[in-house]
Amino acid sequence: MQKKINILIATAIATLLALIGIQAYLVYNTYELKKDAFLKETKKSIGRIDDESERVVTTNEIWAQEFMELLWQYRFENLSKERFVEGLTKNTDSLTGSYNRLYKEELKKTDLGYDIKFKKNIYSIIILDSVANDTMFPFGDRKRLFMLGEDFDEDQGYDVSQARWQTDYTKVVDGEEKTVEFRVVTRDRMNISDWKRIVLSRMAILLTGSVLLLLFVVGLFYYSIKNLIKQKKVADIKTDFINNITHELKTPLATLGIASKSLHKREIQESPEAFKNTLGILDRQNTRLQKLIDQVMTNSLGSEDLVLHKEQVIDDAYFNNLLDDFSLSVQSKNLTIDRHIESEEVVLRLDTFLFTTALFNILENAVKYGKESLVLTFTTRLRNNHYEIVIADNGIGINEKHLKYVFDKFFRVESGDVHNVKGLGLGLYYTKQVVDAHKGSIELESELGKGSKFSITIPVN
CB 102 within 8 A of CB 53: yes
Instruction: Give me the pLDDT at residue 278, please.
Output: 80
Residue 121 vs residue 4, higher pLDDT: 121
Opening angle at CA 71, ends 67 and 76, nearest 5: 150
Q: What is the mean pLDDT of residues 46-51?
A: 74
pLDDT at 137 over 70: no
pLDDT at 301 over 60: no
SS3 label, residue 8: helix
| Best-predicted range by mean pLDDT (166-180, 275-289, 380-394, 395-409) | 380-394
pLDDT at 309 over 70: yes
pLDDT at 98 over 60: yes
Tens of pLDDT, residue by residue over 380-426, are 999 888 999 999 998 888 888 888 878 877 666 654 333 444 555 66
The amino acid present at 79, given as its one-letter code, is L
pLDDT at 120 over 60: yes
CB 442 within 8 A of CB 359: no
CB 220 within 8 A of CB 213: no
Q: How far is CA 431 from CA 10, 20, 443, in A?
A: 39, 47, 11
Tens of pLDDT, residue by residue over 215-253, are 888 888 888 888 888 787 777 666 666 766 666 667 677
Instruction: Give me the pLDDT at residue 419, please.
Output: 42
Mean pLDDT of the chain: 81
Tens of pLDDT, residue by residue over 54-70, are 777 888 888 888 888 88
Instruction: Give me the pLDDT at residue 169, please.
Output: 85
Going along the chain from its start, the domains and CATH numbers come out as 2-202 (no CATH), 204-299 (1.10.287.130), 305-459 (3.30.565.10)
Question: The whole model's pTM is what?
Answer: 0.47
Q: Residue 148 pairs with which residues in a beta bridge?
A: 120
The amino acid present at 441, given as its one-letter code, is S
Instruction: Give me the pLDDT at residue 387, please.
Output: 94
Instruction: Compute the residue count for the chain.
Output: 461
Q: What is the mean pLDDT of residues 180-201?
A: 84
